[in-house]
């Protein structure tokens, strides 16, 4: 190592302070080195005060002077000081060498984990016990791994044990909406499973085939993923193949089958069913079919100009089989049904297209606007027909008085038609042929509860 001679010095006899000019002693000099003064004597440096000031171990004994030459001599103390420093470092970090240096850390506890963060010292990893590792979050147990399994917020009682109110989701994707699997806890003892995919919240998969899906709108789909506005169950198969069955363990007492032929009315109803094309059947029932209505009715078309027919009103049938309220146009007489149990002839809207269905992402207002034209056509078709009682019991509006047992017959009412009562003892054969039925009793609204008997 070369000697340092940059700049000049000012020294004073009997003074240990040396002042430099143009010197840079902080970077080039250290305590313990030798100062060769202007008096040619060697002094030990006690301290480097600044780039321009040194302090000697002893006083300068030469003559005072300024602007004098000098030299700083390196000494062998570098090697000794390095050895001492290395020994001190090894002593200080011996525990690190024997611990973390060999992959060993302290157990720690949940409040101060063995591995923790400088800015968050109650969060990290700790040894929870023999063969158990814990993750602390904010000084509490986040999860525990033992020989039994993984416990989230709890000591695992089985391979995967999650005990937390809230949501636990496994995400594949960059956002929560892309999550593939979600377990949503509703309580400590129950929850739901969700498998997300486009337009679906839940899909149960069987051997690679989508078996059940629940869409974002809450619509359940079985055997299909085609979005719908109604819960849908589908199964491959031809006409007559079983679709779904309900019943006890031993078998199904209620069954649905594939039907290939449409034809049911598009009017609003609680239940609509197609028919089997080969048999023309829609429903087979082993027992009775009960309904709350009191008569069997059929839809009949009204003649042009036939205005509204009220429930229980008598009307005529023309030679063309059309309903009329004109006496001279009628060849027979019937009563409009009030509360039918069964209605036939429900084909008056068959010329219309199927009722539009609301798209899954369509608002109610937009759908209502799209549905309105179809409903207007349906109502227009509905006004061309009426339900007529053909058997059973119906209330009939009677002109004049009546008594139980009387026959009701059709009679002219000016140019219109009305019903009048005729006692059994007084009825003529011509009147009997125009009979509408026989009165059982009087109703509170003034109409006659009548057994339908067309003439």
Six-digit token pair at 108?
């720690």
Q: Provide CB contacts within 8 A for 210, sequence distance 6+.
A: 203, 204, 225
Please report, for residues 96, 107, 122, 138, the alpha-carbon distance to residue 116 in angstroms, rounded to integers and kept in the order given.
Answer: 16, 11, 7, 11
Please list, in sequence order, all residues whose beta carbon lies within 8 angstroms of the beta carbon of residue 16, skipping any fewer than 6 positions away: 46, 55, 56, 57, 58, 59, 60
At residue 369, the pLDDT reads: 95
Q: Which two tokens stand for residue 172?
A: 């594949």
Higher per-residue confidence, 163 vs 334:
334
Q: Tokens 């008594």: give the residue.
A: 403
Closest residue by Cα to residue 405 from 437, 431, 435, 429: 437
Q: Give residue 72's pLDDT.
A: 94
For residue 94 the two structure tokens come to 């011996």
Nearest to 311 by CA among 290, 340, 284: 340
pLDDT grade, residue 188 (50/70/90)?
A: very low
Q: Among 312, 246, 350, which residue's Cα sits nearest to residue 445?
A: 312
Residue 202 backbone phi and psi in degrees, to 5: -135, 130
State which fold the 291-348+384-455 domain adopts: Virus Head Decoration Protein; Chain: A, (2.40.300)
- Please give the pLDDT value at position 183: 52
* Paired sense of beta strands 295-301 and 340-344, if any: parallel
Q: What is the pLDDT of residues 298-311, one digit of tens each?
A: 999 999 999 999 99
| Rg, Å, the chain Cα set | 52
Higher pLDDT, 387 or 75: 387
pLDDT, tens digit, 9 for 90 and up, residues 99-152: 777 777 888 898 999 889 989 989 999 998 888 998 999 988 888 899 888 888
- On whether the CB atoms of residues 374 and 349 are closer than 8 A, the answer is no
Q: What is the pLDDT of residues 25-43, one digit of tens each?
A: 999 998 989 999 999 999 9
3-state helix, strand, coil in the chain (%, to 5): 15, 40, 45
Mean pLDDT of 151-168: 70
The length of the chain, given as a count of residues = 455
Provide the mean pLDDT of the chain.
84
Binning pLDDT at 50, 70 and 90, where does residue 190 land? very low
Tens digits of per-residue pLDDT, 247-305?
A: 887 777 788 888 878 778 778 788 888 888 878 888 888 899 899 999 999 999 999 99
Q: What is the pLDDT of residues 340-380, one digit of tens each?
A: 999 999 999 989 998 898 887 889 999 999 999 999 999 99
Domain ranges, ordered by start, for the chain: 8-73, 105-162, 291-348+384-455
pTM passes above 0.75:
no
pLDDT of residue 185: 47
Q: Which helix (H) or strand (E) holds 193?
A: strand 190-195
Pairing of strands 232-233, 220-222: parallel
């Amino acid at each position: 190592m070369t000697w340092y001679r940059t700049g000049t010095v000012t020294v004073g006899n009997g003074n240990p302070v040396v002042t430099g000019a143009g010197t840079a002693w902080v970077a080039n000099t250290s305590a313990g080195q030798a100062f060769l003064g202007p008096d040619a004597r060697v002094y030990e440096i006690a301290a480097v005060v600044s780039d321009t000031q040194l302090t000697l171990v002893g006083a300068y004994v030469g003559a005072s002077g300024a602007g004098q030459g000098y030299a700083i001599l390196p000494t062998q103390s570098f090697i000794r000081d390095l050895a001492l420093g290395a020994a001190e470092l090894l002593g200080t970090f011996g525990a690190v060498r024997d611990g973390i240096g060999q992959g060993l850390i302290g157990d720690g506890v949940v409040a101060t984990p063995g591995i923790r963060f400088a800015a968050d010292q109650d969060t990290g990893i700790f040894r929870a016990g023999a063969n158990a590792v814990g993750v602390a979050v904010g000084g509490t147990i986040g999860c525990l791994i033992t020989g039994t399994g993984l416990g989230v917020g709890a000591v695992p009682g089985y391979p995967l044990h999650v005990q937390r109110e809230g949501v636990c989701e496994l995400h594949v994707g960059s956002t929560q909406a892309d999550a593939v699997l979600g377990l949503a806890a509703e309580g400590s003892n129950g929850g739901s499973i969700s498998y997300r995919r486009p337009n679906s919240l839940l899909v149960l998969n069987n051997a690679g085939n989508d078996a059940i899906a629940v869409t974002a709108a809450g619509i359940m789909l079985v055997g299909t993923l085609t979005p719908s506005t109604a819960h849908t169950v589908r199964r491959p198969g031809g006409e007559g193949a079983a679709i779904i069955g309900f019943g006890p363990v031993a078998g199904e007492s209620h069954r649905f089958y594939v039907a290939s032929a449409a034809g049911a009315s598009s009017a609003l109803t609680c239940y609509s069913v197609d028919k089997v094309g080969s048999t023309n059947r829609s429903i087979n029932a082993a027992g009775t079919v009960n309904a709350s209505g009191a008569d069997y009715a059929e839809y009949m078309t009204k003649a042009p100009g036939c205005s509204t027919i009220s429930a229980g009103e008598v009307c005529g049938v023309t030679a063309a089989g059309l309903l009329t309220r004109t006496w001279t146009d009628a060849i027979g007489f019937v009563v409009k049904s009030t509360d039918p149990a069964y209605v036939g002839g429900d084909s008056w809207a068959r010329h219309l297209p199927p009722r539009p269905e609301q798209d899954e992402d369509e608002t109610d207002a937009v759908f209502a606007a799209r549905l309105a034209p179809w409903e207007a056509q349906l109502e227009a078709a509905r006004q061309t027909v009426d339900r007529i009682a053909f058997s059973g019991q119906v209330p009939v509006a009677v002109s004049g008085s009546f008594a139980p047992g009387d026959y009701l017959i059709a009679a002219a009412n000016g140019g219109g038609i009305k019903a009048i009562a005729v006692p059994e003892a007084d009825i003529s054969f011509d009147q009997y042929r125009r009979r509408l039925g026989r009165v059982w009793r009087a109703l509170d609204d003034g109409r006659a509860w009548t057994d339908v008997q067309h003439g």
